[in-house]
């Protein structure tokens, strides 16, 4: 690496000295802003050449130029200025501020660049630095809290998926994920997680494919929230679009080299881990063979006398109170390969609890980019390497990105530009998820013996390499019953995955005349991935190996004719007509061993114990042909009106009815051009209405059979559980939006306010039907959802002084979601049925994502009723609405400060409301894992002590009323798993928690090296930052866990099962420009 | 300028027209066919029904608990008859309607359209399908009571099927079996796809008549006249005459075609099930030789100690299920000769005009059960048959037949539950944790309340309330 760096330096110096020879006149000067303050870092370029420099900290520059040179001065936030040098040797330049949004150009749908002031819809930009400064594996996480109306939720595992939803869930069962577009290329953002994984049944979270985008390449992000903004993208636009423009070379600029290096460490946040009780050991209660009922009896030491042993099979901590004087034959006494074989040990709480499994993880990102350009061409080459070690043992992700982009003017009128990305991602030891033995958190949070010392388990695994579990079938049958040694799980039952991805595009632009130009574009995004999962011989259940090979591709062909003409001095018309042909392809195969593995440590299909069953295959190609037109009229640079129309034809619909049209119309008025007030810098009113039509997934029209493994050589086939529909129509989302943008007092304060209302109708939905029809679901155009809400963006500059700036940015959004209707006869659509007897649902009159389960029974005053035994009455049915996943509102507050060369900023991310069901406490309270199950009762006694009826009694009195309305005074025991807190007696409702949080999401402190230092270094720019992420959960209501943790991206949210802790991340970021 | 516009327009028009056929072709799944052979569907439905009957999985079939043959070690919700936590009624309902009845209805369509089959081959195949369908309908009625019948299985046109009276459905099922008898006699049915008899039509005939006998005897209290005529009809046409006639499914040694028992008992590596004290105690009292087959001698030779039904039980301290049941190829039972003989014994006891006397049938039934359990020592069987609490006594006919029938149905637990409901013998225990009474019926699936509400409400009212304690129409005494 060092040699490479030397090579780069040599190259750069050679180039600089070469350029230097051509100059023959020296110009010096100072650049100031309109208040007379010097501007450091202004780009000064000799027009038409690569010759240039930057101003120093005092706004001064010196440059060798030709006699007839024109200098171009540019600086972010200031208007560009060109000055002819002539015979002057000294220049004093004053740059005028770019008055707010007036001339800002933003990239909108299909890559069309528009002046922001003319847009009739809300957009919000995020700078590339804001996502690249924080070294995260998945850049989408770095958007959390930064954009109004954009909800970003990471599922919490290393490399896991992130749910990115704009303005709420608009689709009942389809994808609600925003569309990512990189330099005009729509990016596939599937997650290939199995349905079982998404509904808590176990499996790995392989992440969402948009995570492949390299944050270091991002120049800017523009979020198109409403359908009017994105209607030209067609059906996928209904969920909003995140447009990413990547960094490019600039014309007439020498070779620039940017090097960035960052390292972030991560540690589990204790606030999101269980607090274990340390008073009682293994067991469900006094149900076993010893005299006190807490231990089993077996002659472990071979002396012919029965010994007291841990009840090994019992994955709970409602056993005997710890007593270090009591010697018990525990798990380490029954494995002959251990030194402790046949030795009893004191009955005591574990010194090292499962929380000690968490190590310090790290993420290192190193990148180098070269860019430059001539008068006809630009180019940029970037390479980034990401190396991540997870905080669980034996977990890592490596990713290498290569990006090349270039543009070239073939003639004055004809230009071509292209970019090409290659990404290789390799994962190993991703965390198991959900209710599954491969998820170590399942036992840590739900089924744990508090006497088991984690480090002793670790040492036993490393000493023997075998599955020395605390949870065998018994002293004479050492096969594991429910839970493996957690280190065995991590080291022997790991997965690996690899993904090779190529995406990019080629654009051809031809300027036909002043009025017309045409753009031809081909974009592609294609990847192949392999996921391999292993379960070694000796594990709980059936050992095995499975592989999933998946190829996914999307191709888009666009041809767009643009026109732009001033019809009169005051009236401008611009627009486009074009077509978009989209082709999607997917082909996958999943093969698994059958009946287990023959030999240990050998993971191949050929090692299958029984003959292989047929692998499952999926193959689907999809075609969507769209034509569209857009026209925009501008009058007096003040009044704007825009309309679009698109026609799509989708192969996913019946061929007799697969074409659909949808329009949009939007308008904006620059009020500040009408109202002339000093305090008003800028004001714009905007309004729009849009429809977006969409097709569906392939294979929903014709009925098919599921062919499965033959029985004794006979073919086996069964009708699919969902009845398809030959008469499907397209679905439509209709939205309406108004907004007001304004800024005051020289742009010191700006406000952007939006209100929107979106209804998605005729949704193509697999509607559940009475199973007596022989089907579980029937595809129908049924269902309507409404999302409406407010978004507010506030930017303020409370302090602007010479050496000190303070900026505040606040975004706040509230989305109200309601399922308006399903179809006749169906009053609830179950999205997922989950372990614990709860389900996630959509029901008319309620927000999407109602959590249903068993509830308490309440009296008229809303008090919980207890039965005659003193336990809560619970409902028989699990149909009761006990929560909802939708939050009330979200907000993000960023404060940034600059003092001389120091910059400091922090982001506070807030969610209010939303519910979450915890399977972890549902089981963990019954198994006595958590500290609250071994507390002190109202009498000052141990809750778990027996009921005596006297002052020394254990047990608790549940707050509630008796059937007659009187206060409950009946004490119930708390000495077994059948206690009132856990699954045995509680209602599901008791484990629904408020998912609100306030988090210190990001914190960064940056030092920009001053020019004086830089003069002595070979850099043009350098900075060093300390970065922190998720350092502090300021407030939350969910105990022992992170309210953001979940299973996967997708529609099933509001459920935790074996949840992973939040990761505090902190580290350093270095950036140099040559 | 003009030429560019022309090029653009041509390209534009090109883009907007691809032919319909291409669009449609893309929407046809190359990996899942739109047409299959009736053979595939018949095998699939038969195996699905067999798997359901044999499964001990707590999410699918808990009749081994309900009948108190087995109980659980640690997780005792299901032995305490908690049906809602795991949506057990829903899983049975959808399994039978979707994977048995609908696929078989669909297979009938393919048979009728199959030009390669003669009319007699078509009839015989439809006859085989009718028997499996009647069996499946009877499973649903015996579990729930009133169910959607004529209006079921018509998702295209009716997603809100009305429920029908269980007694009326039973009458129709008996008629269908009588009609199927003619169909079966007309020619050769499925051979390879027939995983029960491999195309032996004489055995199908006996299966048909034996199933008719089961249905007839089930309604002996509620509809004595139909019961008598249908039972006599069945007996005269010929029922099973020995274990060689048994309708059983021979499972394979490798997944997924193993006996579902093996999946939960062996493959899972778990230790969730032990023998229940209910059956162990009764068989211990009778010194029943079948214990060596039903149970494992893990507590020592000849030592059998069941787990306390519905309580937490130590796995190591309780008797396990027998070795034979842990073999992946262990056969699954639809209907066997022992059951037929018990029905004949009861028919004879009720003075129906069936061949043989009550005691002969009763002894035949126990002997068949013993033989099936691998006990061929006739002396041992005779000793057992002469025990005071076994030996046939007309004065105590119901209790003797009921208890022996229940013991014999150990590996056909749904029939075991029906036997207990019909004969009210032997007396079962109350589950340890909750002391809930033994269900005499499953509650309807929760999703019927949501998806078919009006019909659900009507049916609940018609049967006298959707509870576990509302008896099925034939469970009147």
* Pair B1, A516: CB distance under 8 Å: yes
**In this predicted structure, what is the pLDDT of residue A99?**
53
Task: Indicate the range of A27-41, A742-756, B68-82, B342-356 predicted with least confidence.
Answer: A27-41
Q: How far apart are CA B277 and CA B310, in angstroms?
A: 10
Report the distance separating Cα A488 and Cα B128, nearest Å. Answer: 51
Least confident of A21-30, B145-154, B155-164: A21-30
Chain B CB within 8 Å of residue A862 CB: no
Chain B contact present for A265, CB below 8 A: no
Average pLDDT, chain A: 91
Interface with chain B: mutation pick from A774, A833, A854, highest number of B CBs within 10 Å: A774
- Please tell me the predicted confidence (pLDDT) of residue B15: 56
Is residue B33 less than 8 Å (CB to CB) from chain A?
Answer: yes
Question: What is the pLDDT, as a whole number, of residue A3?
Answer: 45
Q: If 0-12 CB within 10 Å is exposed, 13-18 middle and 19+ buried, where does residue A288 land? A: buried
Integer Cα distance of A449 and A612 in angstroms: 38
Average pLDDT over residues B467-476: 96
Q: Taking Cα atoms as reference points, which of A432, A429, A404 lies closest to residue A417? A: A404
* CB contact (8 A) between residue A610 and residue B271: no
Average pLDDT for residues B182-191, to the nearest whole number?
95
Using the beta-carbon criterion (under 8 Å), do B41 and A706 form an inter-chain contact? no
Q: Tell me which chain B residue has its CA closest to the CA of residue A627.
A: B16
Task: Decide if A1054 contacts A849 (C-beta within 8 A).
Answer: yes
Peptide bond into A449 cis (omega under 30): no
pLDDT band at A6 (very low <50, low <70, confident <90, very high): very low
The string of DSSP codes covering A66-90 is -TT-EEEEE-TTB--EEEE-TT-SE
Token pair listed for A713: 């050589």
Main-chain dihedrals φ then ψ at residue A777, nearest 5 degrees = -140, 155
- Under 8 Å between Cβ of A513 and A478: no
| DSSP assignments along A154-221, one per residue | E--STT--EEEEESS---SSS--PPEEEETTEEEP--B---HHHHTTSSEE---BGGGGS-GGGEEEE
Residue B14's pLDDT band, with cuts at 50, 70 and 90, is low
| pLDDT tens per residue across span A527-567 | 999 999 999 999 999 999 999 999 999 999 999 999 999 99
Residues A56 and A41: beta-carbon distance below 8 Å? no
Among candidates A621, A771, A778 on the partner chain, residue whose Cβ is nearest the Cβ of B94: A771
For chain A, helix, strand, coil in percent to 5 are 10, 50, 40
Pick the more confident residue, A37 or A816: A816
Report the percentage of chain B scoring pLDDT > 90.
88
A723 contacts in chain B (CB < 8 Å) = 155-156
A771 closest CB neighbour out of B35, B98, B156: B98
Nearest in space to B104 (alpha carbons), one of B60, B23, B51, B43: B43
Q: Mind listing the domains of chain B with CATH numbers?
A: 41-255+330-463 (1.25.40.390)
Give per-residue pLDDT as tens, A357-373.
999 999 999 999 999 98
Residue that has been written with the tokens 């269902």 in this structure: A783
Q: Which residue has the tokens 């029943």?
A: B288
Can you tell me the mean pLDDT for A891-900? 94
The per-residue pLDDT for A252 is 76
| Residue where the block lists tokens 């071994």 | A934
Q: Does B391 touch chain A (CB under 8 A)?
A: no
Sign of the C-alpha dihedral, residues B171, B173, B177, B182? positive
pLDDT digits (tens, 9 = 90+) for A698-741: 999 999 999 999 999 999 999 999 999 999 999 999 999 999 99
Model pLDDT, residue B93: 97
**Residue A687: Cβ within 10 Å count:** 18
Phi-psi map region of A599: left, alpha, beta (phi>0 left; psi -120 to 50 alpha): beta
All residues of chain A having their beta carbon less than 8 Å from the beta carbon of residue B260 are: none
**A284·B30 Cβ contact <8 A:** no
Q: What gap in Å lies between CA A953 and CA B190, rounded to an integer?
A: 71
pLDDT at B227 over 50: yes
Q: Beta strands of A929-1074 (E only): which ranges?
A: 956-957, 971-972, 992-994, 997-1008, 1021-1036, 1055-1056, 1063-1073
pLDDT tens digits along B425-447: 999 999 988 889 999 999 999 88
Residue from B442, B372, B374, B359 nearest B408 by CA:
B372
- pLDDT given at position A133: 73
Q: For residue A657, what are its two tokens?
A: 């009815």
User: Does B6 have pLDDT greater than 80?
Assistant: no
Taking an 8 Å cut-off on Cβ atoms, the answer to whether A652 and B314 are in contact is no
A774 with B97: Cβ contact below 8 A: yes
pLDDT over 70 at A840, yes or no = yes
Identify the pLDDT of residue B18: 60
| pLDDT higher than threshold 60 for residue A18 | no
Q: What is the pLDDT of residues A369-416, one digit of tens each?
A: 999 988 899 999 999 999 999 999 999 999 999 999 999 999 999 999
- Closest CA–CA distance from residue A381 to any residue of chain B (Å): 34
User: Looking at residue B324, what DSSP letter applies?
Assistant: G
- CB contact (8 A) between residue B161 and residue A773: yes
Contact at 8 Å (CB) between A529 and A193? no
User: Following DSSP, what letter does each residue of B30-78 receive, concatenated?
Assistant: TTS-S---HHHHHHHHHHHHHHHHH---TTT--HHHHTTSEEESS--TT
Long-range contacts of B10-14 (CB under 8 A, 24+ apart): B11/A559, B11/A579, B12/A559, B12/A577, B12/A578, B12/A579, B12/A627
Q: What is the 3-state secondary structure (H, E, C) of A649-704?
A: EECCCCHHHCEEEEEEEEEEEEHHHCCCCCCEEEEEEEEEEEEEEECCCCCCCCCC
Q: Report yes or no: B6 at the A interface, CB cutoff 8 Å.
A: no
Report whether B295 contacts B306 (CB < 8 A).
no
The Cβ of residue A954 has, within 10 Å, a number of other Cβ atoms equal to 19
Does B458 lie at the interface with A, CB-CB under 8 angstroms?
Answer: no
> What six digits make up the tokens of A328?
């018990």
Is A719–B98 a contact, with Cβ atoms under 8 angstroms apart? yes
The pLDDT confidence band at residue B12, using thresholds 50, 70 and 90, is: low
CB B84 to CB A578 under 8 A?
Answer: no
Please choose, from the candidates A975, A988, A931, A980, the residue with its C-alpha nearest in 3D space to the C-alpha of residue A960.
Answer: A980
Cβ within 8 Å, pair B446-A878: yes
When pLDDT is cut at 50, 70 and 90, the band that residue A13 belongs to is very low
Q: How far apart are CA B400 and CA A741, in angstroms?
A: 88
Q: Could you give the percent of chain A with pLDDT greater than 70?
A: 97
3-state secondary structure of B97: helix
Query: A703 to chain B nearest CA, in Å?
Result: 6
Per-residue pLDDT reduced to its tens digit, A179-226: 999 998 999 988 889 989 999 889 999 998 888 888 888 988 999 988
Residue A183 Rama label (left phi>0; alpha psi -120 to 50; beta): left
Tokens 């605390």 found at: A470
Q: Does residue B99 belong to the interface with chain A, where contact is any CB pair within 8 Å? A: yes
Per-residue model confidence (pLDDT) at position A2: 42
Closest CA to A805 of A11, A37, A25, A28: A37
Specify the range with the lowest mean pLDDT, choosing from A222-236, A433-447, A894-908: A222-236
Residue A15: pLDDT band (50, 70, 90) is very low
Residue A904, pLDDT > 90, answer yes
Contact status, residue A533 vs residue A549, Cβ threshold 8 Å = no
What whole-number distance in Å separates Cα of residue A758 and Cα of residue A770? 31
- What is the pLDDT at residue B446? 85
Token pair of B42, please?
């018949």
Give B-chain residues touching A510 at CB under 8 angstroms.
Answer: 4
The tokens of B284 are what?
């211990």
For A299-413, strand residue ranges (E) read: 307-309, 323-328, 345-347, 361-373, 377-389, 396-409
Q: What is the pLDDT of residue B1?
A: 57
- Strand-strand pairing, A804-821 and A764-768: unpaired
Question: Could you tell me the pLDDT band of residue A232, with boundaries at 50, 70 and 90?
Answer: confident
**B474 in Cβ contact with B221 (< 8 Å):** yes
Look up tokens 């004001």; give the residue. Answer: A683
Q: Distance (Å, rounded) from C-alpha A783 to C-alpha A819?
A: 8
Q: Can you say whether residue B198 is alpha, beta or left, with left for phi > 0 and alpha for psi between -120 and 50 degrees? A: left
What is the per-residue pLDDT across A259-278, written as a single tens digit (0 to 9) for each? 999 999 999 999 999 999 99
- Confidence band for A63, pLDDT divided at 50, 70 and 90: confident
Q: Write the pLDDT tens digit of every residue in A456-493.
A: 999 999 999 999 999 999 998 999 999 999 999 999 99
pLDDT > 70 in chain B, percent: 96
Q: CB-based contact (8 Å) between B387 and chain A?
A: no
Confidence at residue A21, expressed as pLDDT on a 0 to 100 scale: 41
What separation in angstroms does the CA of A470 have from each of A335, A474, A479, A484, A924?
10, 10, 10, 8, 18
Which candidate, A927, A926, A951, A928, places its Cα nearest to that of A941?
A: A951
Q: Any idea of the CA torsion for B190, B193, B197, B202, to the nearest 10 degrees?
A: 0
Query: A622 vs B29: CB contact, 8 Å cut-off?
Result: no
Please judge whether B314 and A699 are an interchain contact, meaning their C-beta atoms are less than 8 angstroms apart: no
- Which residues are CB-neighbours of A999 under 8 A, at least 6 positions away? A908, A909, A910, A1030, A1032, A1033, A1034
Q: Between the CA of residue B267 and those of A1011, B263, B327, what are the distances in Å?
A: 71, 5, 10
């Amino acid at each position: 690496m060092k040699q490479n760096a030397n090579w780069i330096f040599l190259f750069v110096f050679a180039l600089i000295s070469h350029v230097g020879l051509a100059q023959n006149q020296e110009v010096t000067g100072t650049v100031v802003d309109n208040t007379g303050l010097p501007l450091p870092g202004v780009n000064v370029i000799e027009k038409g050449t690569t010759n240039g420099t930057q101003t120093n900290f005092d706004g001064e520059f010196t440059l060798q130029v030709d006699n007839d040179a024109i200098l171009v001065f540019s600086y972010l936030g200031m208007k560009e200025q060109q000055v002819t040098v002539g015979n002057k040797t000294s220049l004093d330049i004053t740059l005028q501020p770019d008055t707010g949004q007036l001339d800002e150009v933003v990239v909108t749908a299909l890559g069309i660049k528009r002046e922001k002031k003319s847009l009739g819809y809300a957009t919000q930009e995020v700078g590339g630095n804001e996502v690249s400064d924080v070294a995260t594996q998945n850049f989408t996480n770095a958007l959390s809290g930064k954009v109004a109306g954009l909800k970003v939720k990471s599922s919490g595992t290393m490399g896991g998926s992130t749910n990115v939803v704009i303005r709420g869930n608009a689709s009942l069962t389809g994808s609600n994920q925003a569309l990512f577009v990189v330099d005009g290329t729509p990016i596939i953002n599937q997650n290939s997680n199995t349905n079982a994984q998404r509904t808590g049944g176990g499996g790995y979270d392989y992440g969402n494919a948009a995570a492949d985008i390299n944050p270091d390449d991002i120049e800017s992000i523009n979020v198109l929230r409403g359908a009017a903004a994105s209607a030209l993208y067609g059906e996928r636009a209904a969920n909003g679009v995140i447009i990413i423009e990547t960094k490019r070379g600039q014309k007439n600029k020498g070779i620039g080299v940017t090097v960035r290096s960052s390292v972030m460490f991560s540690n589990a946040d204790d606030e999101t881990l269980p607090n274990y009780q340390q008073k009682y050991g293994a067991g469900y209660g006094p149900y076993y063979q010893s005299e006190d009922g807490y231990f089993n009896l077996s002659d472990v030491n071979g002396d012919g006398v029965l010994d007291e042993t841990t009840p090994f099979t019992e994955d709970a901590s409602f056993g005997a109170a710890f007593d270090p004087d009591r010697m018990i034959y525990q798990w380490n006494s029954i494995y002959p390969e251990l030194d402790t074989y046949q030795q009893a040990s004191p009955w005591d709480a574990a010194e090292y609890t499962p929380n000690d499994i968490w190590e310090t993880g790290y993420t290192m990102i190193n990148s180098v980019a070269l860019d430059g350009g001539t008068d006809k061409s630009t180019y940029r080459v970037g390479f980034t390497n990401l190396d991540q070690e997870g905080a669980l043992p034996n977990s890592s992700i490596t990713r290498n990105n290569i990006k090349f982009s270039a543009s070239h003017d073939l003639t004055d009128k004809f230009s071509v530009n292209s970019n090409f990305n290659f990404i290789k991602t390799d994962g190993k030891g991703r965390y198991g998820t959900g209710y599954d033995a491969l998820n170590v958190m399942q036992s840590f949070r739900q089924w744990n013996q508090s006497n088991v010392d984690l480090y002793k388990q670790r040492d036993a695994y490393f000493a023997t390499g075998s599955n020395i579990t605390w949870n065998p079938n018994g002293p004479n049958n050492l096969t594991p019953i429910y839970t493996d040694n957690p280190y065995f799980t991590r080291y022997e039952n790991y997965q690996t995955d690899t993904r090779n991805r190529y995406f990019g595009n080629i654009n051809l632009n031809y300027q036909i005349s002043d009025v017309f130009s045409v753009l031809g574009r081909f974009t592609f995004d294609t990847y192949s991935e392999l996921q391999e999962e292993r379960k070694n011989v000796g594990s709980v259940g059936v050992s095995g190996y499975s592989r999933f090979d998946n190829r996914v591709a999307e191709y888009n062909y666009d041809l767009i004719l643009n026109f732009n003409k001033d019809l009169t001095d005051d009236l401008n018309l611009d627009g486009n007509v074009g077509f978009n042909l989209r082709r999607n392809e997917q082909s996958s195969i999943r093969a698994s061993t059958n009946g287990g593995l023959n030999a240990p440590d050998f993971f191949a299909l050929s090692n299958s114990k029984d003959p292989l069953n047929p692998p499952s295959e999926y193959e689907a190609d999809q075609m969507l042909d769209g034509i569209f037109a857009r026209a925009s009229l501008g009058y007096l640079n003040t009044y704007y009106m825009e309309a679009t129309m698109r026609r799509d034809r989708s192969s996913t619909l019946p061929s007799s009815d697969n074409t659909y049209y949808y329009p949009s119309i939007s308008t904006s008025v620059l009020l500040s051009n009408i109202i002339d007030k000093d305090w008003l810098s800028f004001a714009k009113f905007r309004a729009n209405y849009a429809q977006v039509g969409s097709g569906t997934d392939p294979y929903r029209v014709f009925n098919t059979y599921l062919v499965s493994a033959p029985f004794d050589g006979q073919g086996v086939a069964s009708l699919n559980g969902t009845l398809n529909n030959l008469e499907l129509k397209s679905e439509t989302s209709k939205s309406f939006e108004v907004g007001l943008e304004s800024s005051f007092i020289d742009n010191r304060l700006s406000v952007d306010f939006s209100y929107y209302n979106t209804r998605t109708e005729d949704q193509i939905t697999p509607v559940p039907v009475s199973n007596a029809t022989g089907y579980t679901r029937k595809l129908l155009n049924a269902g309507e959802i409404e999302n409406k809400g407010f978004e507010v963006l506030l930017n303020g500059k409370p302090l602007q002084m010479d050496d000190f700036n303070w900026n505040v940015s606040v975004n706040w959004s509230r989305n109200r979601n309601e399922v308006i209707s399903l179809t006749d006869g169906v009053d609830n659509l179950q999205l997922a049925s989950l372990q614990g007897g709860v389900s996630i649902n959509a029901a008319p009159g309620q927000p999407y994502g109602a959590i249903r389960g068993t509830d308490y029974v309440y009296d008229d005053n809303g008090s919980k009723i207890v039965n005659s035994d003193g336990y809560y009455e619970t409902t028989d049915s699990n149909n009761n609405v006990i929560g909802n996943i939708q939050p009330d509102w979200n907000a993000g507050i960023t404060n940034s400060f600059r003092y001389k060369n120091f910059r400091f900023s922090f982001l506070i991310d807030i969610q209010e409301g939303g519910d979450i069901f915890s399977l972890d406490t549902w089981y963990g309270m019954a198994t006595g894992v958590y500290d609250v199950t071994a507390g002190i009762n109202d009498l000052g006694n141990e809750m778990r002590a027996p009921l005596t009826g006297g002052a020394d009694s254990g047990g608790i009195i549940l707050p509630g009323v008796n059937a007659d309305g009187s206060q409950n005074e009946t004490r119930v025991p708390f000495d077994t798993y059948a206690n009132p807190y856990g699954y045995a007696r509680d209602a599901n409702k008791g484990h629904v928690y408020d998912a609100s949080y306030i988090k210190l999401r990001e914190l960064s402190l940056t030092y920009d090296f001053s020019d004086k230092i830089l003069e002595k270094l070979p850099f043009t720019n350098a900075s060093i930052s300390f970065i922190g992420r998720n350092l502090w959960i300021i407030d939350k209501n969910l105990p022992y866990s992170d309210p953001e943790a979940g299973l996967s991206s997708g529609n099933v949210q509001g459920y935790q099962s074996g949840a992973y802790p939040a990761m505090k991340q902190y580290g350093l970021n270095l950036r140099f420009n040559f | 300028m003009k030429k560019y516009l022309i090029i653009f327009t041509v390209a534009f028009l090109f883009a907007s027209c691809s032919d319909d056929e291409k669009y449609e072709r893309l929407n046809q799944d190359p990996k899942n066919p739109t047409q299959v052979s009736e053979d595939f569907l018949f095998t699939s439905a038969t195996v699905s029904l067999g798997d359901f009957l044999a499964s001990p999985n707590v999410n699918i079939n808990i009749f081994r608990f309900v009948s108190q043959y087995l109980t659980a070690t640690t997780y005792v919700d299901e032995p305490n008859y908690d049906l809602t936590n795991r949506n057990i009624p829903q899983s049975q309902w959808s399994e039978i309607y979707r994977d048995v009845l609908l696929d078989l209805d669909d297979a009938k369509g393919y048979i009728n359209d199959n030009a390669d089959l003669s009319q007699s081959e078509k009839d015989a195949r439809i006859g085989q399908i009718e028997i499996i369908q009647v069996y499946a309908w009877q499973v649903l009625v015996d579990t729930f009571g009133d169910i959607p019948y004529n209006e079921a299985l018509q998702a295209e046109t009716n997603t809100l099927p009305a429920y029908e009276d269980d007694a009326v459905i039973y009458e129709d099922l008996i008629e269908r079996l009588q009609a199927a008898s003619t169909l079966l006699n007309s020619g050769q049915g499925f051979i390879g796809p027939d995983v029960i008899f491999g195309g032996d039509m004489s055995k199908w005939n006996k299966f048909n008549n034996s199933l008719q006998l089961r249905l007839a005897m089930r309604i002996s209290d509620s509809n004595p006249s139909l019961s008598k005529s249908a039972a006599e009809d069945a007996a005269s046409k010929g029922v099973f005459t020995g274990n060689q006639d048994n309708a059983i499914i021979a499972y394979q040694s490798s997944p997924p075609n193993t006996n579902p028992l093996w999946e939960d008992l062996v493959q899972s590596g778990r230790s969730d099930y032990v023998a229940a004290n209910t059956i162990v105690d009764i068989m211990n009292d009778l010194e029943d030789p079948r214990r060596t087959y039903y149970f494992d001698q893990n507590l020592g030779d000849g030592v059998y100690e069941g787990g306390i039904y519905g309580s937490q039980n130590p796995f190591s301290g309780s008797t396990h299920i027998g070795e034979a049941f842990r073999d992946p190829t262990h056969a699954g039972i639809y209907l066997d000769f022992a059951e037929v003989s018990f029905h004949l014994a009861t028919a004879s006891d009720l003075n129906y005009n069936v061949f043989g006397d009550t005691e002969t049938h009763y002894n035949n039934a126990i002997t068949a059960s013993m033989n099936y359990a691998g006990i061929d020592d006739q002396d041992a069987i005779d000793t057992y048959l002469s025990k005071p609490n076994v030996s046939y006594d007309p004065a105590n006919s119901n209790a003797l037949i009921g208890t022996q029938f229940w013991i014999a149905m150990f590996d056909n637990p749904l029939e075991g539950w029906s036997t207990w409901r019909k004969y009210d013998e032997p007396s079962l225990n109350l589950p340890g944790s909750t002391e809930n009474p033994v269900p005499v019926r499953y509650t309807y699936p929760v999703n019927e309340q949501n998806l078919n509400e009006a019909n659900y409400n009507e049916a609940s009212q018609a049967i006298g309330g959707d509870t576990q304690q509302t008896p099925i129409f034939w469970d009147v005494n």
